[in-house]
Homo-oligomer: A and B are copies of this chain.
Amino acid sequence: MESREAHFSFGGTQQVWRHRSASLGVDADFAIYLPPQAQDKKVPVLYWLSGLTCTEQNFITKAGAQRVAAELGIAIVAPDTSPRGADVADRDTYDLGQGAGFYVNATQEPWAAHYRMYDYIVTELPALIEAHFPVTQVRGISGHSMGGFGAIMIALRNAGRYRSVSAFSPIVAPTQVPWGEKAFSAYLGPDRSAWAAYDPIALIRTVKERLPILIDQGLADSFLTEQLRPELLQAAAQEAAHELILNLRPGYDHSYYFIASFIEDHLRHFARFC
């Protein structure tokens, strides 16, 4: 592992590392915030999955999460959103290819070689983090937009692995909206039966673990009605008697200004289950 950045931040340190990822088959960058408490003991860790076009940088520079993480004594890991590099398949668009990994294991060409973000996030990255940093195995997962989808989908599929799950402005129904249909068609192929394993709406009907899902959604979000559609997950959760806290926030948009305004609630949500 190669250290790329290290900055003091609220008494802890914001770090960025590069490592060779076996899942992705390329070098990958991730960020980790270690709170001051990590100098003396192991701390719980929240995984943050970012949205389309993001790298590990967006969350750590814009969300203002370090202040509350330092207070609560939790680490935050923010990975990149896809494999990257000259050898990695890409498209000249923001919603497919590099920066748009959608947290799935691609089965289709030309994506299958490197686009294995599901394995990376669920297995490889936590193993690396828990081996190299002063963190416990108490994990939470959260994210924004595409990453909010990733957080909910991964938590639903991995009972016992996370103490909490939450999301900002998530794509809750990827099989029913343009962003998801485009990505799943490319990464998973045209057979929609292969999509169900990554579909929160399908998953919430079958999962055994009833982890409450916290969602914040801005009502001035320009993607709300076409791409995000939280009401679809709300209906499925209700049918399945799965606890979903859906906070609709008048006036707020899809930006990091929204995330920064409510990230404290999501960190405290995780801390309650630590």
If over half of A's interface residues share one DSSP class (helix, strand or loop), that class is named, otherwise mixed; here it is mixed
Chain B residue, CB-CB nearest to A60: B257
Is A260 located at the chain interface by the 8 A CB criterion? yes
> Is A7's beta carbon under 8 Å from chain B?
yes
Contacts of A256 in B (CB 8 A): 61
A8-B218 Cα distance, complex, nearest whole Å = 9
Chain A contributes a number of interface residues (CB within 8 A of B) equal to 23
Q: Residues of B contacting A257 with CB < 8 Å?
A: 7-9, 14, 66
Which residues of B lie under 8 Å from residue A253 when comparing CB positions?
7-8
Count this chain's copies in the assembly.
2
1/0 contact trace for A43-68 toward B, CB 8 Å? 00000000000000000011010110
Separation in Å of the A160 CB from the closest CB of chain B?
34
**A220: chain B residues within 8 A (beta carbon):** 8
> Shortest CB–CB separation between residue A146 and chain B, in angstroms?
20
Residues of A participating in the B interface, judged by any CB pair closer than 8 Å: 7-11, 14, 61-62, 64, 66-67, 218, 220, 249, 251-253, 255-258, 260-261
Q: Could you jot down 17 A-B contacts, CB within 8 Å?
A: A7-B253, A7-B255, A7-B257, A7-B258, A8-B249, A8-B252, A8-B257, A8-B261, A9-B260, A9-B261, A14-B257, A61-B62, A62-B62, A66-B257, A66-B260, A66-B261, A67-B261
